[in-house]
């Protein structure tokens, strides 16, 4: 598909959307401005393919930014949603499914005894911060540059995801008072972490993505997560691990299973909703019982634990057995290795390919990326050109250097061949 078409159905829809939606989209990265083109409007998805309103087909590596670990329209997930919808879409009252989902999350994540459901990861993060402040009687939050924990006022400082794409250090409309109690540190910088937690300043929580994927995928260096855990304990702060992306994607028990570093509070989302809006915060019972109505820390949500999202999440998680994770890891590694080979053979641009099971990033960088500054130093123009080249050859990659690719269990060996052929051709045409 050419980089600029003015007579397509997508172009027509975008012109109309610009009159009705800010920027023509309901989430900034969808606008594709970071890769220098207008957005593509999607009509449907099947497996690992999506189809736009003009009839073009793409191998999809966005997968709704992570929830669709089984691909689009998986029959068992769809069946669960249809059966739930037939009973009623929302009640504003407890349902058995909420208990079942909470039990499944607790079985998978060792640090979780109890769960509070929300409708988004942002809401779950807000709840975790409020709970940490109530539990410690402190206000200060420590976060890491390049991490994105939802559009919470106090955490929109040097955030990743769409905010990094737009090169905004914070957002207009966020009062100074909201960020006064936030300390931002470089990711993977042990010295900065030690300095920030050594002066005795009371800290309510250290919040981190254990496998950051909102500045591209930038894993923790050896020993860094362990140091984060140690500094939380030393200062009496709670450790909040944001597993909205990594939870139930990189392993059965999320990144905590891979790293062996346990959270005091875990923020969850994406996969747990099976493609429908859902989030959750979980932790040990003594902390979670501080939430109303068991305790005095208030949180509520009209659609929290929505029956359709719960049904989709349970169906999605039921399909994620050990064999599924082995298959996802194998496909991810084949994809990453193939992208490295394609870049080495055909690209005059230095490229770093980083991967974990279910996550990949292609950085246009001479050196490995270890923090937000490294991600910002990448050749964004080359990535944009390469991404447009992929789109023109039927591969839908994240339209931003700062976003991770999301391989799914629906991707096939044939789609891998299509992807790597397109990648090699797109590398070769870079100037």
Which one is catalytic: 49, 61, 270, 396? Answer: 270
CA 364 and chain centroid, separation: 21
Distance CA 95, CA 87 (A): 11
Strands 395-396 and 57-60 come out as: parallel
Our CA dihedral for 394, 397, 399, 405, rounded to 10 degrees, sits at: 170
- 220 secondary structure, DSSP code: P
* Per annotation, catalytic residue among 242, 264, 371, 379: 242
Identify any residues that bridge with 51 across adjacent strands, giving them in sequence order.
44, 57
Identify the residue whose tokens are 């991967």. Answer: 355
Strands (E), 68-175: 114-118, 141-144
Check if 284 is active-site. no
Distance CA 396, CA 389 (A): 10
**Three-state DSSP class for residue 313:** helix
> Whose CA is closest to 269, among 135, 115, 403?
115
Six token digits for residue 80 = 């669960």
Active site residue 148: yes
Instruction: Classify residue 172 as exposed, middle or buried by CB count within 10 Å of its CB (0-12, 13-18, 19+).
Output: exposed
Which residue in 386, 342, 421, 406 sits closest to 60, CA to CA? 406
* Cross-sheet strand order for the sheet of 265-269: 114-118, 279-283, 265-269, 238-242, 205-208, 141-144, 182-185
As beta bridge partners, residue 270 has none
Give, in degrees to the nearest 5, the angle at Cα 21 between 18 and 26.
Answer: 120
For residues 95 and 108, what is the distance between their CA atoms, to the nearest angstrom?
Answer: 21
**Residue 282 in contact with residue 246, Cβ under 8 Å?**
no
Apex 145 CA angle, 124 and 186, nearest 5: 130
Catalytic choice (148, 325, 331, 402)? 148
Active site residues: 148, 242, 270
């Amino acid at each position: 598909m050419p980089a600029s078409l003015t007579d397509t159905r997508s172009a027509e829809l975008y012109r109309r959307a610009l009159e009705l939606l800010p920027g023509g989209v309901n989430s900034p990265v969808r606008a594709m401005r970071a890769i220098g083109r207008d957005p593509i409007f999607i009509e449907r998805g099947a497996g690992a393919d999506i189809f736009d309103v003009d009839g073009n087909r793409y191998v999809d590596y966005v997968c709704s930014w992570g929830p669709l670990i089984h691909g689009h329209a998986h029959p068992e997930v769809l069946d669960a949603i249809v059966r739930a919808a037939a009973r009623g879409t929302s009640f504003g009252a407890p349902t058995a499914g909420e208990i079942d989902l909470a039990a499944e999350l607790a079985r998978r994540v060792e640090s979780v005894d109890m769960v509070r459901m929300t409708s988004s990861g942002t809401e779950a993060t807000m709840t975790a911060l409020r709970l940490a402040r109530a539990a410690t009687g402190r206000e200060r939050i420590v976060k890491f540059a390049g991490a994105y924990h939802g559009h919470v006022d106090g955490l929109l400082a040097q955030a990743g995801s769409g905010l990094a794409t737009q090169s905004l250090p914070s957002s207009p409309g966020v009062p100074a008072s909201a960020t006064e109690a936030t300390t931002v540190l470089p990711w993977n910088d042990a010295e900065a972490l030690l300095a920030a937690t050594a002066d005795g300043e009371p800290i309510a929580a250290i919040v981190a993505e254990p496998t950051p994927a909102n500045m591209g995928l930038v894993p923790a260096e050896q020993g860094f997560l362990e140091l984060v855990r140690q500094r939380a304990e030393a200062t009496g702060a709670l450790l909040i691990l944001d597993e909205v992306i990594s939870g139930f994607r990189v392993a059965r028990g999320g990144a905590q299973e891979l790293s062996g570093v346990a959270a005091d509070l875990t923020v969850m989302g994406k996969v747990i909703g099976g493609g429908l809006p859902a989030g959750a915060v979980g932790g040990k019972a003594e902390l979670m019982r501080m939430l109303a109505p068991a305790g005095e820390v208030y949180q509520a949500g009209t659609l929290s634990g929505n029956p359709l999202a719960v049904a989709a999440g349970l169906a999605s998680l039921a399909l994620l057995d050990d064999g599924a994770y082995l298959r996802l890891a194998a496909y991810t590694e084949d994809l990453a290795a193939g992208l490295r080979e394609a870049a080495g053979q055909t690209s005059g641009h230095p490229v770093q390919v980083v991967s974990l099971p279910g996550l990949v990033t292609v950085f246009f960088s001479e050196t490995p990326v270890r923090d937000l500054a490294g991600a910002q130093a990448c050749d964004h123009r080359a990535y944009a050109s390469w991404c447009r080249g992929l789109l023109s050859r039927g591969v839908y990659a994240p339209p931003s250097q700062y976003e991770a690719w999301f391989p799914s269990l629906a991707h096939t060996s044939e789609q891998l061949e299509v992807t790597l052929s397109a990648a090699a051709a797109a590398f070769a045409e870079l100037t």
